[in-house]
Amino acid sequence: MPKKIRVTRVETPETREQALSVLRSTYRDEKRWVIEAESQLPESDLNESQISWFVALRDEEPVGVLRIHYQPPVAQYREYEIDLLDQRIDVDQFLRTNRIAEIGRFAIVPSCRRNLMIAVALMRAATRETVERGFTHYITDVFENDPHSPYGFHTRVMGFAAVATHERGELRCASRRITLILDLKAAYQRLRRSRNWIFRSLTADWDEGLHRQLAI
């Protein structure tokens, strides 16, 4: 029998500890990107209205985590000496005319990485909240040389597009960062046209109001 996957928002000390167990397994022990997992998910995040963490549980065991930052550190990105892949992009105009949330700290424990449903379940919870809050785009960074990078999932499944690269970032990793952008409305419409199970799964708990926000 398939093991049940559910995603919950990290709002209590108990769910924070579940999320931290994933970050310890991945960011700290496997990747060595951080010294302490707690630095990534401080207790203050539980009461921060502009940050949402989600943890995926498989038969109640924590197996995945994801963070949404609704006030992404744009000034910090500028300090990273970003190289645009398309010089025609007007970054300032893009920032002025769209509501952008940063999606990141996307991690799945090594034993479950082949289970696509965990990634889809995390994205379902995240995108629903993001659309409900009226945001239009996601921005994220992935590591170019990370063998477990979500780059393939983000670009092939969700529809993220690479827009820039930069050499430095928050985490202790020497790999170049690739900055990706997702237009949520365009992604919704592309996935809806495909009529595949991923669209049905991503929008399984959406009401008609959410569908209308992105369908037109």
For the chain, domains (ranges, CATH) are: 5-209 (3.40.630.30)
Q: Quick one: average pLDDT of 47-60?
A: 96
Q: Which of 115, 110, 2 is nearest to 59 (CA)?
A: 2
pLDDT band at 21 (very low <50, low <70, confident <90, very high): very high
Does position 128 have pLDDT exceeding 90, yes or no? Answer: yes
Helix, strand, coil shares of the chain, percent, nearest 5, are 45, 25, 35
Please report the sign of the dihedral spanned by the C-alpha atoms of residue 27, residue 29, residue 35, residue 40: positive
Between vectors from CA 106 to CA 103 and to CA 110, what angle results, nearest 5°? 170
Q: Please give the mean pLDDT across all residues of the chain.
A: 91
Cα gap 172→64, rounded to integer Å: 21
pLDDT on residue 75: 66
| pTM beyond cutoff 0.85 | yes
Q: Give the contacts of 139 (CB within 8 A, at least 6 positions apart).
A: 72, 100, 101, 102, 103, 179, 180, 181, 182
pLDDT on residue 79: 72
What tens digit of pLDDT does each residue of 71-96 get?
887 767 767 777 888 777 787 788 88
Per the CB < 8 A criterion, the answer to whether 72 and 139 are in contact is yes
pLDDT on residue 174: 85
